[in-house]
Copies of this chain bind each other. A is one copy, B any other.
């Protein structure tokens, strides 16, 4: 199981600095939607980000104009880009084709979509399906249970990622459960006094 650290709501310089420090520790570094909307893809592309080990996921949250955004996102250095499951199916098909052609990954954000739409978009065989609640949602979220349910409903989907209040205990349970390809941790690492040390702790309990 891979560890993805989400970096959000910080200065771009700090994001780049901490990403370069986390590079050798974690599997995937996410530049969150807040960094995209605050600073833009051009600034990310021109930054001193220099990952030698970890993959870069840019949380673009594309919901329309898919080809434009995916071209710009991959040009900015991303290995993985996100598209909303709530997009038109045409959008998801178009960005999937781009990801496949560039030998990169498409991550479908499954937030807030209903069963028939889920089924409609469940057959992108190389896609990563990301499950989480809205950060703004006022209801609870049980990652382990939600993953089990999703896997039961879509046994053919092989690449699953989960986010939402993942602490060390939940990360360990998810690793034992053995369903998801990656877990996404944001504040649980980034708000620790020593994010690199905390990322190492997550890697330990997961392996």
Interface of A toward B, CB cutoff 8 Å: 9, 33-34, 36-43, 60-61, 63-69, 72, 84, 86-88, 90-91, 94, 111-114, 133-138
| Cα-based distance from A72 to B87 in the complex (angstroms) | 24
Would you call A37 and B38 a contact (CB within 8 A)?
no
Number of copies: 2
Among B39, B42, B64, B138, contact of A33 (Cβ-Cβ < 8 Å): B64
| Cα-based distance from A72 to B36 in the complex (angstroms) | 12
Would you call B60 and A61 a contact (CB within 8 A)?
no
Q: How far is the CB of A128 from chain B (nearest CB, A)?
A: 18
Find the residue from A33, A63, A91 having the highest chain B CB count within 10 A: A63
Q: How far is the CB of A9 from chain B (nearest CB, A)?
A: 6
Among B38, B41, B42, contact of A41 (Cβ-Cβ < 8 Å): B38
| Cα-based distance from A33 to B73 in the complex (angstroms) | 14
Among B37, B72, B86, B94, contact of A84 (Cβ-Cβ < 8 Å): B86
| Cα-based distance from A107 to B60 in the complex (angstroms) | 20
| Cα-based distance from A10 to B156 in the complex (angstroms) | 41
Would you call B111 and A37 a contact (CB within 8 A)?
no
Question: Which chain B residues lie closer than 8 Å to A137 at the CB level?
Answer: 88, 90-91
Question: Which chain B residues lie closer than 8 Å to A84 at the CB level?
Answer: 63, 84, 86
| Cα-based distance from A10 to B37 in the complex (angstroms) | 16
Q: How far is the CB of A96 from chain B (nearest CB, A)?
A: 12
Find the residue from A37, A43, A63, A65 having the highest chain B CB count within 10 A: A37
| Cα-based distance from A94 to B113 in the complex (angstroms) | 19
Q: A40-B36, A88-B134 are in contact. Are A64 and B111 (CB under 8 A)?
A: yes
